Amino acid sequence: MSSMNDTGVVAGPASGRTSRTHRLRGLAGTGFIAALAAMVATTLAAALAQAVGVDFEVPDGGETIPLSGFAVVTGFFSVVGIVIAVALLRWSARPVRRFVWTAVSLTAISLVPPLLSGADTATTTALLGLHLVPATVMIPALARSLRTRTD
């Protein structure tokens, strides 16, 4: 129940904290669903690349990247993206703009290691594409969720 005091301010339950908590939880929930989708999409894309002959062997150590490795790394960095989005929602006046700028910049930076890995052309190309798959899932999902959470 709300009442009006003599200053003209409506006094009622402290809903600011509740709505902020609700917004943060909603963003985190959307982010985790998007992270699962990104993990599945990236792993399926890596499996498809393997099926057409990409070996994912990185010359430095001669190890082959396993399919589970794609899922784990995608999940980890998706959670990093969620944390960035939550922080920006909490502390930024323009969370959507700052998130998109930050996420696209970090995605661009993530393209450098495959180029420096010394892997063959097919592996390098596949790794570059596999960096873009989760970005195309996570960035729009989190930006859309930030937009609806800040209205």
30 in helix, strand or coil? Answer: helix
Give 101's Cβ-side CA count (13 Å radius): 7
CB atoms within 10 A of CB 40: 13
Q: 12 falls in which pLDDT band (50, 70, 90)?
A: very low
Measure the CA–CA gap between 120 and 49, rounded to whole angstroms. Answer: 14
CA dihedral 53, 59, 62, 66 (to 10 degrees): -50
Model pLDDT for residues 16-54, shown as the tens digit of each residue: 566 878 888 999 999 999 999 999 999 999 999 999 999
CB 99, CB 146: distance < 8 Å: yes
Backbone angles phi and psi of 58, in degrees to 5 = -100, 120
Model pLDDT for residues 60-89, shown as the tens digit of each residue: 777 899 999 999 999 999 999 999 999 999
Nearest to 70, CA basis, from 117, 28, 130: 130
Backbone angles phi and psi of 2, in degrees to 5 = -110, 150
- 52 DSSP assignment: T
What residue spans of the chain are helical by DSSP H?
Answer: 15-51, 67-91, 95-110, 112-116, 121-150
Q: What is the pLDDT of residue 18?
A: 64
Q: What is the pLDDT of residue 9?
A: 53
